């Protein structure tokens, strides 16, 4: 059927017709809200590169978690911003560490809310890399040993989902085995499977207080030019027992999300990262784009590409916008 018999505009004529044929719907159910936990009490320190976001102490993290729950957001992911750092990031597996404490407090206040924990070392190491550095490079297998310790400490604290993010080879299988050996076979793993060496993590550095003394992450995170390789990575992680596959960042990698959707029948998470959030906020602050529409259009595009859930700093404001309808 061709014009003039077929006129695609017919089904766009009214809002109710558009609603009937809308293919993608974003809901608060789709969101995971990231929280940066710092030491202290009553602390809520704004992050200048992420307007509207703050580093919070454990008590304030509980307040954020309660707000998420009341907005219908099912999950939060916690990042620790400790004042103690060392060469291997041992604070990451301290049972009395910040995210461990915050997890216990949030689970007590909001037992139904899902608490995800990022299992990595970059916030905990003096050099800012995601593991044990040997001869100027992150040593894969030495890092795995410590990653097992982190996952167990997080599971003991009551985390509902463990999310290893360091892009070490074999990390999903290693975490799975470590958890199963200690009786945590019910805890799912969300694997940062296709995580690219991206400049869009820029503002996260300030938010998470990660140092970067030397080098880059190109020797463990993926080359932004590679799409087929993402399929190899997610296939490996699925084989090692990942329960959720992540693609990160989201916006410059929507094609990767769509390809992974076609290849893998596991739930897919997309991380709408700090730089993506910061760009939108900066353009909106200049009145160059309509903030609210940009937020919802961005989130819709990530879902349309194939993501089941979106880790996003927009979670709370988007949930409010969606509630208003
Ligand atoms: C690693 C981690 C990073 C982010 C989430 N987990 C930083 C990195 O890999 O360089 C970035 C998230 C964002 O930019 O919003 N622990």
What secondary structure, in 3-state letters, does the chain show?
CCCCCCCHHHHHCCHHHHHHCCCCCCCHHHEEEEEEECCCCCCEEECCCCCCCEEECHHHHHHHHHHHHHCCCCEEEEEECCCCCECCCHHHHCCCCHHHHHHHHHHHHCCCCEEEEEECCCCCECCCCCCCEECCEECHHHHHHHHHHHHHHHHHHCCCEEEECCCCCCHHHHHHHHHHHCCCCCCCEEEEEEEECCHHHHHHHHHHCCCCCCCCCCCCCECCCCCHHHHHHHHHHHHCCCCEEEEECCHHHHHHHHHHHHHCCCCEEEEECHHHHHHHHHHHHCCCCCHHHHHHHHHHHHHHHCCCEEEECCHHHHHHHHHHC
* Beta bridge mates, 78: 35, 117
pLDDT tens-digit series, residues 160-188: 999 999 999 999 999 999 999 999 999 99
CA-nearest residue for atom 12, ligand 1, is 273
Whether 93 shows a pLDDT value over 70: the answer reads yes
- Measured CA to CA, the distance from residue 209 to residue 172 in angstroms comes to 26
* pTM recorded for the entire structure: 0.97
Residue 216 — very low, low, confident or very high, per pLDDT cuts 50/70/90?
A: confident
pLDDT at 325: 63
Whether 212 shows a pLDDT value over 80: the answer reads no
Residue 12 phi/psi, 5-degree rounding, is -110, 5
pLDDT at 186: 98
CA-nearest residue for atom 10, ligand 1, is 201
pLDDT at 213: 59
Which has the higher per-residue pLDDT, 216 or 148? 148
Instruction: Go through the domains of the chain in sequence order and give each one's CATH number.
Output: 27-324 (3.20.20.70)
Ligand 1 pocket mutation pick from 47, 120, 277 by most atoms within 8 angstroms of CB: 120
Please give the distance, rounded to the nearest whole angstrom, from the Cα atom of residue 208 to the centre of ligand 1. Answer: 8
Q: What is the largest CA-CA distance in the chain?
A: 70
Q: Mean pLDDT across the chain, nearest whole number?
A: 96
Whether 220 shows a pLDDT value over 80: the answer reads yes
Measured from the CA of 272, which atom of ligand 1 is nearest? 15
Mean pLDDT score, 117-123: 94
Which has the higher per-residue pLDDT, 213 or 48? 48
Please give the distance, rounded to the nearest whole angstrom, from the Cα atom of residue 22 to the centre of ligand 1. Answer: 33
Please give the distance, rounded to the nearest whole angstrom, from the Cα atom of residue 201 to the centre of ligand 1. Answer: 6
Ligand 1 pocket mutation pick from 204, 215, 222 by most atoms within 8 angstroms of CB: 204
Active site residues: 195, 248
Neighbouring residues of 62: CB distance < 8 A, sequence distance ≥ 6 = 102, 105, 106, 109, 110
Q: How many residues does the chain have?
A: 325
Whether 72 shows a pLDDT value over 90: the answer reads yes
Structure tokens at 111: 């037992």
CA-nearest residue for atom 7, ligand 1, is 201
Mean pLDDT score, 184-199: 97
Which has the higher per-residue pLDDT, 130 or 230? 230
Q: Taking a C-beta distance cutoff of 8 angstroms, is the pair 154, 119 a contact?
A: yes
């Amino acid at each position: 059927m061709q014009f003039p018999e077929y006129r695609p505009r017919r089904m766009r004529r009214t809002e109710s017709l558009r609603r009937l044929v809308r293919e993608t719907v974003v809901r608060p159910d789709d969101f995971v809200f990231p929280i940066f936990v710092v030491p202290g009490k009553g602390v809520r320190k704004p992050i200048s590169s992420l307007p509207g976001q703050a580093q919070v102490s454990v008590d304030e993290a509980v307040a954020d978690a309660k707000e998420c729950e009341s907005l219908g957001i099912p999950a939060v992911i916690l990042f620790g911003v400790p004042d103690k750092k060392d060469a291997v990031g041992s604070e990451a597996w301290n049972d009395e560490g910040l995210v461990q404490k915050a997890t216990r407090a949030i689970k007590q206040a909001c037992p139904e809310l899902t608490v995800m924990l990022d299992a990595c070392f970059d916030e905990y190491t003096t050099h800012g890399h995601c593991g044990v550095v040997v001869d100027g490079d992150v040593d894969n297998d030495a890092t795995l040993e410590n990653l097992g310790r982190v996952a167990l400490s997080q599971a003991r604290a009551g985390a509902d989902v463990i999310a290893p993010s360091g892009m070490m080879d074999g990390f999903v299988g290693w975490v799975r085995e470590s958890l199963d050996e200690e009786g945590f076979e019910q805890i799912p793993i969300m694997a940062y499977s296709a995580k690219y060496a991206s400049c869009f993590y820029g503002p996260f550095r300030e938010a998470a207080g990660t140092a970067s003394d030397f080098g880059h992450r190109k020797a463990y995170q993926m080359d932004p030019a590679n799409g087929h390789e993402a399929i190899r990575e997610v296939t490996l992680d699925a084989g090692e027992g990942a329960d959720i596959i992540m693609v990160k960042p989201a916006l410059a990698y929507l094609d990767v999300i769509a390809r992974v959707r076609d290849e893998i029948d596991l739930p897919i998470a997309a991380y709408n990262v700090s730089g993506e959030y910061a760009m939108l906020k900066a353009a909106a602050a200049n009145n160059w784009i309509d903030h609210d529409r940009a937020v919802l259009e961005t989130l819709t595009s990530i879902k349309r590409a194939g993501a089941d859930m979106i880790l996003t700093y927009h979670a709370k404001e988007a949930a409010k916008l969606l509630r208003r309808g």
